[in-house]
């Protein structure tokens, strides 16, 4: 499988002589070994890939990766690359997320080589295999059980961190390897910040409580959001049903070849009808897989098209400063003719 | 407080005309606002700092940051910087951790400016205030309670993720905002990988179980490791007591002006006496604060000196491929004449 993935990458290289990767999820995807310490994978267009790992990763890397593994500290990368970058090499692909410090050093040490940014690893990763989809579904099941436990824990006087405690406990019991991002339980006015994490605030009657969480299972992530309204709150209930309608419209449009920007705009238009589009402060969604945020970007400025077997989130939200926020988020798979929502949890979780 | 921090940074700039930051912890440290979305802080040597934030962060940024805040999407950074980088500007400091894609764009768009790497934000952050030390101590207390809960949960037949569940539950109940890194519960042969996270493996009699966890409290991190040996295992018990001795030697050497490399080597020499230094696969420790890994680096290749009010971990380990691993990790504060260990949990947690 990894040989096949590497050969797809090599085919995408066109006129480049090789690709240099340091992103640990990219390395894991192409080698089967997910490094715990700084690592570097060099993939020449012709010839064998070489993985540099730290001493601490050596034994596991040799066990899991079928390619050549060398124990090389970060401080010796340049020296080792000097052996690998053959005199004819003129163009090497690198990740945009590379650290500027290392990028700058590469350019200085190899002035004859042009280091160009290629997003191919992420483009390749954005199309999921049947096996990957199965693992993501399992990660989603775990997160849904966590969210259910969170909703049951919500109540007047309960602290946000207590709600997170119940959710995470449930996810661990179901085998979550880790949590791919900080669990969000944002109640009342705190919910007006889309990325507020957890605090010690006690939930009050009338609060909208945004719960956004995920689990990692066999390296793959899930990400799901539900909003619970405690007691009555007309304003937040209205915002929530608007957001649910906006999501439904976007979900109904999903199929291959649709522009990601069009999806985002379709949800925004529904909110616009009620003058709420100005409170939708982030993009509609993001691809999900080994990273919780990966291509495609479902935003109004995205120039990507949906393709079959992409998996991404659809998560409109409305944030009213001083009052609170509402958001719903589901994970969708692009099938031949439509989107299939992989999350099953109901959205009307009012208390 | 933030004005003072910024003025320390300005004093360190020397001949640079300004500093450009994108690291969210650096931005939080210097402005008081910890962004949830991509942000950029520009600090001119003379004049007012400006913080660019995304729409989603605008309201909280304006609430928490006393400097000028502008809502600027990532795609418009260059355009906005054009207004700020005055014609006389020749040298601007940037972080080494900056994304190469953005770094490269900066160089192209502002060819007359030299963008140089400065580590000053991290150097400044490495010396903690009394208030920061108090918060770190609270983060440590939470993690210690979590570790105690984990140790109580360890038993034959219990899965690693069940142990993590109990630890994290306890930390959340004590007010942990989040977990700064994936909790490690690595039992038996899995413990031989220093960064193995959690799996579904059931703990067996004779296993060494490495438990490494931390909590975040008011943005600051803790990080602590203990190893539990289930039933008897002479080999692992010997390794554990060696590691504890190595740690004691290193701890006893801590005071201002001592070389970080010397600390690392002192621990390594204790293991060497028994031929175990070759199984100590990582560096001795790392600074801790807003990031769980930050300067100083306590490694054999570090060229840093300890300074008063630095806070860092001391965590020797021994990893025997196929058998398992042992590690102990404490957090230390450098005082005027010695190190003060901030973690209190006993190290002899054999079952």
Q: Is 60 exceeded by the pLDDT of residue B190?
A: yes
Neighbouring-strand partners of residue B326: B318
Provide the 8-state DSSP code for B237. Answer: H
B residues 41-70 closer than 8 Å to A (CB): 54-60
B93 vs B44: CA distance, rounded Å: 10
Angle made by CA atoms B195, B197, B202, in degrees to the nearest 5: 125
Taking CA–CA distances from B279, the nearest residue in chain A reads A56
Cβ–Cβ of B97/A99 closer than 8 Å?
yes
Task: State residue B5's pLDDT score.
Answer: 96
The pair of structure tokens assigned to A329 is 């988020």
Reply yes or no on whether the pLDDT at B17 is more than 70. yes
Residue range A92-136, pLDDT digits in tens: 999 999 999 999 999 999 999 999 999 999 999 999 999 999 999
Is the same domain home to A11 and A76?
yes
Tokens of A112: 């004859």
Query: What's the distance, CA B80 to chain centroid?
Result: 32
Beta pairing partners, A20: A42, A94
In B14-73, which ranges are E strands?
Answer: 18-21, 40-44, 50-53, 68-71
pLDDT band at B117 (very low <50, low <70, confident <90, very high): very high
Measuring CA to CA, which residue among B321, B328, B10 is closest to residue B151? B328
Task: Please report where in the chains the tokens 């957890």 appear, as a residue.
Answer: A198
Rounded to an integer, what distance in angstroms lies between the CA atom of residue B227 and that of residue A97?
Answer: 36
Q: Are B49 and B31 in contact (CB under 8 A)?
A: yes
Q: For residue B26, which phi and psi values (nearest 5 degrees)?
A: -60, -45
pLDDT of residue A75: 87
Answer yes or no: is A37 within a domain.
Answer: yes
Our count of domains for chain A comes to: 2
β-partners of residue B294 are B287
Report the C-alpha gap between B8 and B13 in whole angstroms: 9
**Element (H or E) spanning B192, and its range?**
none
Is residue B168 within 8 A of residue B142, CB to CB? The reply is no
Please state which of the ranges A228-232, A329-333, B335-339 shows the lowest mean pLDDT: A228-232
**Using CA atoms, how far apart are residues B339 and A338, in angstroms rounded to an integer?**
62
Task: Flag whether residue A122 sits within 8 Å of chain B, measured between CB atoms.
Answer: no
A146-154: average pLDDT: 97
Please name the residues between 8 and 37 in chain A that touch chain B, using a CB distance below 8 Å.
36-37
Residues A118 and A135 in one domain: no
Contacts of B323 (CB under 8 A, 6+ apart): B189, B192, B235, B236
The mean predicted confidence, pLDDT, of chain A is 96
pLDDT digits (tens, 9 = 90+) for A333-344: 999 999 999 999
Whether residues B159 and B274 share a domain: the answer is: yes
Name the percent of chain B lying above pLDDT 70.
99
Give the separation between CA A221 and CA A293, rounded to whole angstroms: 9
Tell me which chain A residue has its CA closest to the CA of residue B185.
A177
pLDDT at B198 over 90: yes
Please, what is the Cα angle at B291 between B288 and B293, to 5 degrees?
Answer: 60
CA distance A99 to chain B (A): 5
Whether A247 and A121 share a structural domain: no
Domain shared by B155 and B281, yes or no:
yes
Give the pLDDT score at A285: 98
Q: Which of A74, A98, A125 is the last residue of a domain?
A: A125
Both B189 and B303 in one domain: the answer is yes
Which of B37, B56, B62, B279 is the best substitution to test chain A (most A C-beta atoms within 10 A)?
A: B56
**Same domain (yes/no): B308, B208:** yes
Q: How far is CA A235 from CA A111, A327, A340, B189, B289, in A?
A: 61, 14, 31, 55, 40
> CB distance from A100 to chain B under 8 Å?
yes
Is B115 in the same domain as B169? Answer: no
Contacts of B191 (CB under 8 A, 6+ apart): B207, B208, B209, B210, B227, B319, B324, B325, B326
Residue B22, helix vs strand vs coil: coil
Is position B286 within any domain? yes
Helix (H, G, I), strand (E, B) or coil at B18: strand
Round to whole Å and give the CA distance between A31 and A51. Answer: 8
Q: Mean pLDDT in chain B?
A: 96
* Domain termination site, one of A100, A125, A150: A125
**Nearest-angstrom CA–CA distance, A175 and A216:** 9
The full DSSP string for A323-339 is: TEEEE-BEEEEE-SSSE
Domain with B215 in it? 130-341
The answer to whether residue B49 sits within a structural domain is yes
When comparing pLDDT for A273 and A351, which is higher?
A273
Q: What is the CATH number of the domain that holds B26?
A: 3.40.350.10
Share of chain A above pLDDT 90, in %: 93
What confidence score (pLDDT) does residue A347 get? 86
Between the CA atoms of B33, B36, B38 and B41, what dihedral angle is there, to the nearest 10 degrees?
Answer: 0
The strand pair at A91-94 and A18-21 is best described as parallel
Co-location of A120 and A54 in the same domain? yes
- Interface pTM, i.e. ipTM: 0.95
pLDDT at B349: 65
- Chain B residues near residue A178 by CB distance under 8 angstroms: 182-183, 197-198
The alpha carbon of residue A74 is apart from the nearest alpha carbon of chain B, in Å, by 11
DSSP string over B83-98 = HHS-TT--EEEE-TTS
pTM here is 0.96
Residue A351 has pLDDT above 60, yes or no: no
Q: What is the SS3 assignment for B135?
A: helix
Rounded mean pLDDT, B106-114:
96
Q: Which residues contact residue B224 at a Cβ distance below 8 angstroms, ignoring those fewer than 6 apart?
A: B140, B143, B144, B147, B212, B213, B214, B329, B330, B331, B343, B345
Which DSSP helix (H) or strand (E) runs through A351?
none
- Whether residues B9 and B121 fall in one domain: yes
**C-beta separation of B269 from B343 below 8 A:** no
Do A254 and A339 meet the contact criterion of CB atoms below 8 Å apart?
yes
In a domain, residue A351? The reply is: no
The answer, yes or no, to whether the previous bond of A18 is cis (omega within 30 of 0) is no
CATH, residue A269: 3.90.230.10
Collect all residues with Cβ–Cβ distance below 8 Å to B130 and sequence separation of at least 6. none
Cβ of A172 and B182 within 8 Å? no
pLDDT single digits (tens) B27-58: 999 999 999 999 999 999 999 999 999 999 99
Query: For residue A271, what pLDDT is reported?
Result: 97
Interface of A with B in 164-223 (CB under 8 A): 164-165, 168-169, 172-173, 175-179, 182-183, 192-200
Task: Give every CB contact of residue B76 below 8 A, 6+ residues apart in sequence.
Answer: none
Residue A350 has pLDDT above 80, yes or no: no
* Dist. CA B284–CA B297, nearest whole Å: 8
Classify residue A236: in a domain, yes or no: yes
- Tell whether the model's pLDDT for residue B336 goes beyond 70: yes
Q: How does residue B135 score in pLDDT terms, banded at 50, 70 and 90?
A: very high
How sure is the predictor about B350, in pLDDT bands with cuts at 50, 70 and 90?
A: low
Q: Are B27 and B38 in contact (CB under 8 A)?
A: no
> Does residue A198 sit within a domain?
yes
Is A70 within a domain? yes
pLDDT in tens, B246-289: 999 999 999 999 999 999 999 999 999 999 999 999 999 999 99
A288 and A152 housed in the same domain: yes
pLDDT tens string A51-89:
999 999 999 999 998 889 999 988 899 999 999 988 889
Which tens digits make up the pLDDT trace of B153-170?
999 999 999 999 999 999
A296 SS3 class: strand
Interface probe for B, chosen from A25, A35, A56 (most Cβ of B below 10 Å), is A56
Smallest Cα–Cα separation from B49: which of B33, B66, B68? Answer: B68
Q: Which residue, B91, B106, B125, sits at the end of a domain? A: B125
> Length of chain A, please?
351
HSE-up (13 A, CA, CB side) for residue B37: 21
Whether B168 maps to a domain, the answer reads: yes
More confident residue, B127 or B88: B127
DSSP assignments along A19-35, one per residue: EEE--HHHHHHHHS---
Same domain, A149 and A262: yes
Across the range B196-205, mean pLDDT stands at 95
Confidence grade of residue B311 (pLDDT, cut at 50, 70, 90) = very high
Tokens of B206: 């004779």
Identify the DSSP state of B13: T
Residue B100, pLDDT > 90, answer yes
Burial class (CB in 10 A: 0-12, 13-18, 19+), B225: buried
Tokens of B328: 């102990």
Two structure tokens written together for B349: 């947690």
Distance of CA B231 to the CA centre of its chain: 33
How many CA atoms does the CB half-sphere of B234 hold within 13 Å?
0
Q: How far is CA A250 from CA A139, A267, A284, A285, B104, in A?
A: 23, 6, 9, 11, 36
Asked if omega into A48 is within 30° of 0 (cis), the reply is no
């Amino acid at each position: 499988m990894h040989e096949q993935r590497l050969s797809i990458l090599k085919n995408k290289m066109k006129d480049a002589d090789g690709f240099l990767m340091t992103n640990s999820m990219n390395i894991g995807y192409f080698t089967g070994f997910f490094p715990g310490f700084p690592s570097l994978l060099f993939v020449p267009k012709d010839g064998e890939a070489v993985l540099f790992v730290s001493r601490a990763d050596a034994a596991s890397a040799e066990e899991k990766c079928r390619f050549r593994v060398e124990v090389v500290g970060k401080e010796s990368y340049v020296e080792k690359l000097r052996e690998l970058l053959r005199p004819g090499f003129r163009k090497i692909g690198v990740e945009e997320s590379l650290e500027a410090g290392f990028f700058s050093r590469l350019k200085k040490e190899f002035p004859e080589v042009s280091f160009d940014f290629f997003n191919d690893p992420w483009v390749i990763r954005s199309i999921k295999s049947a096996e990957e989809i199965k693992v993501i579904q399992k990660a989603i099941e775990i997160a849904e059980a966590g969210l259910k436990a969170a909703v049951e824990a919500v109540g007047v006087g309960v602290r946000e961190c207590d709600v997170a405690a119940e959710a995470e406990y449930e996810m661990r019991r179901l085998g979550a390897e880790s949590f791919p991002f900080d669990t969000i339980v944002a109640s009342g006015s705190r919910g007006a910040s889309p990325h507020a994490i957890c605090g010690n605030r006690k939930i009050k009657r009338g609060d909208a409580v945004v719960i956004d969480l995920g689990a990692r299972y066999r390296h793959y992530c899930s990400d799901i959001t539900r909003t619970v309204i405690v007691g009555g709150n007309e304003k937040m209930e209205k915002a929530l049903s608007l957001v649910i309608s906006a999501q439904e419209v976007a979900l109904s449009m999903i199929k291959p070849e649709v522009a990601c920007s069009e999806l985002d705009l379709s949800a925004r238009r529904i909110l616009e009808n009620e003058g709420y589009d100005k409170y939708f402060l982030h993009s509609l969604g993001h691809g999900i897989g080994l990273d919780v945020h990966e291509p495609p970007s479902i935003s109004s400025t995205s120039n990507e098209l949906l393709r079959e077997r992409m998996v991404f989130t659809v998560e409109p939200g409305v944030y009213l400063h001083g009052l609170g926020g509402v958001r719903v988020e589901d994970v969708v798979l692009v099938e031949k003719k439509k989107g299939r929502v992989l999350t099953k949890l109901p959205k009307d979780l009012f208390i």
